[in-house]
Amino acid sequence: MALEPLLRLRQRSGVVRNLLFCSWEFSNRLVTTQQNVQQAVRATGDRTYKQQVLNWLTKAGPFWTDDRASNPDDYFHFDGTDVTELGLGEAARRCLIEIAAGVFSFSGSIPAFERAPVVVHHGLPEDPIGDVAVDNCWTIDDLTEKTIAAPESWAQMLDSAIVQFESLRLTDYIIDRLSRNPFQRSICGDVLERLRVLNRIARELSPGSSLSARGNELWQTFCVGDKAWFSDESPNDKRYFKHELSFPDPDDSSNKLDCTWHGKVKIAQFRIHFEWPRPVDQAYLKVVYIGPKITKH
């Protein structure tokens, strides 16, 4: 279902839960010629999924229709369709009164909404008032970036990463050593960029932990060559720093993980150590350390 990635993001992020509005009517809108949203969700037969989606769309909200913006000339249309009582119309109304607003569109919909901005026409076609450029996104990554503020501390950086990168598992103890270093926005930005790429690679792993064709392309781009963002430690450093490169397993306190693969940030020689290869049938890639380079001679 197209709602699954959106549902997962809502569960991870309180910000998204509070800022992603829908209408009370959304669950009754047709998604096929024969089914509306509620019927399509029920037809999946997945009880947990059904409960979570219907609770969101019919009870929890939030619903923009409960706090509808007003406009004296209340008619908005897009591509020949009246959108006055749709989310696109509400976003346009809010933009006109200088409230930051945009829309999320489902990829592959008909008509296609994979464009930004979406230009909404204000006023009757025969008596136009003006156009409203409404910001639009159609991928979960874009929605995440638009709703999450830039971190102002290491703790906020880790919170942001946990929300954004669903295929990574950042261990709770990362903050213990990271917090000993002064926060720097430049390092924070580079760390998040590398975690974003690592998340993309992790997404391309099969249950058997083999990379897809796209995953192999990412690997060649970011993990091969002298200037690669990610690499393994040298044999000598693996031997000399064996203890320092061993980290507690967040899923099993009696186990240690040898995490020699790492991402590299040039500023202050920061490193991001992670488990590689990912064990078969493990749903996420474990990130165990973010901080200054460990293997300093």
In this model, does residue 228 exceed pLDDT 90? yes
State the first-to-last Cα distance of the chain, in angstroms, to the nearest integer.
52
What is the model's pLDDT at position 15? Answer: 76
Residue 185 in this model has a pLDDT that exceeds 80: yes
Quick: pLDDT tens for 126-155.
Answer: 999 999 999 999 988 888 888 777 789 999
Q: What is the pTM (predicted TM-score) of this model?
A: 0.66
Work out the number of other CB atoms within 10 angstroms of the CB of residue 229: 18
The residue type of 287 is V
Q: What is the pLDDT of residues 81-133, one digit of tens each?
A: 999 999 999 999 999 988 888 999 888 776 778 888 999 999 999 999 999 99
Q: Cβ-count burial of 11 within 10 angstroms (0-12 exposed, 13-18 middle, 19+ buried)?
A: middle
Contact in structure between 169 and 241 (CB atoms under 8 Å): no
